């Protein structure tokens, strides 16, 4: 190691490589009925979100108006036009979770992360969201980090849960 970089992480793909992958995706789905959503899903996978230049290229590549593409992006909560964190935290605020203290868990998450609901930490580690129901009423309060459900959470456990994802 030369000391200039201690990170052994893979380098992020270049903008040109990302655009090339997007072009290939558009070409593949150009004539597929209903291809807009798969293209948006793949584009979000490429960029981590849907930046404006990618949306404009999708519009022209698929022959769709910007309002149609933006309407789809705005309708589905899966899509994001702002960078998202490596991990997505969803706190259930359904009735059972709320009554058992999910609002206090959410407050502890906001304090520990230094962000509000819908925001991403500056280091792009976490995005904080709420869910109306995770279907985990028997283990309330619950939250999901990515696809892992954490059950019967107390606000005092939030810091250790976050630490396990860093």
Domain limits at 109?
87-163
113 and 141 housed in the same domain = yes
33 and 62 housed in the same domain = yes
Last residue of a domain, one of 75, 100, 123: 75
pLDDT-above-90 percentage for the chain: 84
Question: What integer pLDDT is reported at residue 2 of this predicted model?
Answer: 38
SS3 content of the chain, % helix, strand, coil (to 5): 45, 10, 40
91 and 158 housed in the same domain = yes
Report in angstroms the alpha-carbon separations of 11 from 36, 38, 84.
29, 26, 18
Report in angstroms the alpha-carbon separations of 95 from 38, 100, 105, 142.
34, 9, 14, 11
> What's the pLDDT tens digit per position in 32-66?
999 999 999 999 999 989 999 999 999 999 999 99
> What's the pLDDT tens digit per position in 57-106?
999 999 999 999 999 999 987 899 988 899 999 999 999 999 999 999 99
Question: What integer pLDDT is reported at residue 162 of this predicted model?
Answer: 97
Which two tokens mark 130? 């709420």
Q: Residue 3 falls within a domain, yes or no?
A: no
pTM to 2 decimals?
0.68
142 and 91 housed in the same domain = yes
103 and 54 housed in the same domain = no
Q: Residue 50 falls within a domain, yes or no?
A: yes
- pLDDT-derived band of residue 1, with 50, 70 and 90 as boundaries? very low
71 and 101 housed in the same domain = no
In the chain, the number of structural domains is 2
């Amino acid at each position: 190691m030369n000391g200039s970089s201690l990170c052994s992480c893979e380098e992020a793909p270049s903008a040109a490589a990302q655009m090339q992958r997007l072009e290939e995706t558009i070409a593949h789905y150009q004539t597929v009925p209903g291809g807009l959503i798969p293209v948006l899903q793949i584009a979000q996978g490429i960029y981590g979100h849907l930046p404006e230049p990618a949306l404009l290229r999708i519009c022209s590549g698929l022959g769709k108006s910007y309002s149609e593409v933006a309407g789809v992006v705005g309708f589905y909560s899966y899509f994001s036009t702002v960078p998202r964190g490596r991990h997505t935290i969803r706190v259930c605020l359904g009735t059972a979770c709320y009554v058992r203290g999910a609002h206090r868990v959410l407050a502890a998450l906001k304090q520990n992360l230094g962000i509000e609901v819908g925001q991403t930490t500056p280091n792009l580690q976490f995005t904080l969201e709420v869910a109306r129901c995770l279907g985990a009423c028997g283990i309330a309060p619950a939250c999901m980090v990515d696809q892992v459900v954490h059950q019967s959470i107390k606000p005092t456990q939030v810091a250790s849960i976050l630490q396990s994802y860093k």
